[in-house]
Structure 1
């Protein structure tokens, strides 16, 4: 395919008109970029409102909710950029400084993805992400460097990271052509971790580069007790293990996630009287197969 622009910025809108418009307002349009909004079957026709308000962008309205991966994949298929920035609609830029991220990608054929620094949009903008630690081979847990810390420049050195952060990641199109689109079997949560593992197995590096900062409105307590979140977190942890872990570690992870984590959650939600969440845990256990 003939690339007609250098950068494609793709974001998903799902009943989030205000946030999506604020993100677009923070992006200075240039002739070598395109902005694509995928409306993931919002209840109202927010796609038409966005298209009318921003004549320079491309709006795609899906007739059904394709999930995080499916929505991004739809945007990728319709994009033309050499580099693709997948970014959450509840983020914004104070200083749109994507050029250093592109330079990082161009610095080596081995680098497939680069992520900016993420800071929360509330308070004094504490750090959300400055790279990840590796996942535990048994508990499937990891940590984001700097999470919750004030930003004093202590994470201002670029470095490789095992996984990309789904809120903002810049990707080479030729790398996507090689490894394939984001796995849609997850729908919500863990798909960027799985995709990162696919990139790594294909020989690509993933980098964190603080030359660009993105601000994220996500709250630390968003949807913690949602049946939808409980279901997908339970299901997708198991699915991630099924798709990526091997040998004894796979079965030890199953034992840990089912025997300890799921059992703990079921007991906790039962004592809280949250039987809707108990049901979500059981659903997640019994439906994690692809």
Structure 2
């Protein structure tokens, strides 16, 4: 197993959180893949954390291309068959390897995540007991020095990722910006629509078979797209609440950043277009486009003109690249209809949240939940 942390100018996060990763990741090799940082991240890792291996990328490739390039290199440096000793020199581990993928599992871990004792065991055990399962995430709670804030489920993953019928992502424990306190209500393992890229265990063979993350996304929605493709390819995606990690969130782009708004809305349209079953695509995409325009109008009325403009650009750029998205549909044909996809709310989350005032996952109509 390889734990791979993609870093860009994250020296302070690495100093704060690498100690927990090293302390609680028994039997795993730890890699920091550096996305051409301009701070002294690489020097800090090499001097202060010599057990961590560094993969240096020549350019800042963003989250998606960065992870794709990093895991290709980690695959090359993978251990000899049966060799789980992460202290062996990379060249020795890669020599005379007879396995196809080097490491059986990759863990995509954000640099701003604090892990806890036993954080890997439940996810790994689940994947080993279910050959069809290709990805899994733990429970994600909010990182904070405040004990009360640490009890909140976190925006990026919470209790496992869901989608509504129009492709809007949400989580058990997080609807839009409303976070629930963790009372153990999401401790159960279950299949979900998507696992968070902040902390995801993924089977290496499935990762490489699907080509990793969608490189044109740059960042945001990429894990949802990957997991949707995994389901379409016949794999499963799971959540396991048997372990917990704590995520800072917003370490690269704050949620109010117009660049993040642009990426979320452009990539959101693209993932719906790429992965929705043909029988449902026309209606789903038309409603999604309309709701995105409503979101732009809402930003405008709130005085957030840069965010409104970002949505307009997102719509424009999505349609400009429609031929490319069509190629991706053909390469990984959507296989599952709405009723067949686990982790789906077969209603509108926008209506449930803003129209009906539902703020908790438990308040959603259970008859519409897959």
What range describes the TM-score normalised by the shorter chain of this pair? 0.7 to 0.9
Out of 273, 279, 288, the position equivalent to 2:309 is 279
Greater share of helix residues, 1 or 2? 2
The answer to whether 1:73 aligns with 2:73 is: no
Aligned to 1:127: 153
Specify the alignment match of 1:145 in structure 2. Answer: 172
State the superposition RMSD in angstroms. Answer: 2.3
Aligned to 2:21, what secondary structure does the other structure show?
coil
Deviations 1:20-47 (A, max 9, x none): 2222110236773211111222232422
Write the distance in 1 (CA, Å) between the matches of 2:303 and 2:26. 56
Q: 2:129 aligns with which of 107, 114, 138?
A: 107
Measured in 1, the distance between the counterparts of 2:243 and 2:20 equals 14
TM-score, normalized by length of structure 1? Answer: 0.87
Larger C-alpha radius of gyration, 1 or 2?
2
Greater relative contact order (CA < 8 Å, ≥ 6 in sequence): 1
1:12·1:38 contact (CA, 8 Å) conserved in 2? yes
Q: 1:228 is matched with which residue? A: 259
CA–CA separation in structure 2 for the residues paired with 1:229 and 1:210 = 28
The structure-2 alpha-carbon separation of the partners of 1:20 and 1:260, relative to structure 1 and needing over 3 Å to count, comes to same
> May I ask how many residue pairs the two structures share in their alignment?
280
Per-residue deviation, residues 59-83 of structure 1 (Å, max 9, x unmatched): 1232322121212212211222221
**Aligned-partner SS, 1:102:** helix
Cα distance in 2 for partners of 1:31, 1:231 equals 39
User: Secondary structure of 2:34's partner?
Assistant: strand
Aligned mates of 1:97, 1:190 — CA distance in 2? 24
Instruction: Provide structure 1 residue ranges, at least 5 long, that are not aligned to the other structure.
Output: 1-6
- 1:124/1:191 Cα in 2 relative to 1: closer, same or farther (>3 Å)? closer
Q: Which structure 2 segments of 5+ residues have no match?
A: 79-102, 325-370
8 Å Cα contact 2:132-2:234 kept in structure 1: yes
Contact 2:273 2:281 in 1 (8 A): yes
- 1:248 Cα deviation (Å)? 5.6
**Any idea what SS the aligned residue of 2:231 has?**
helix
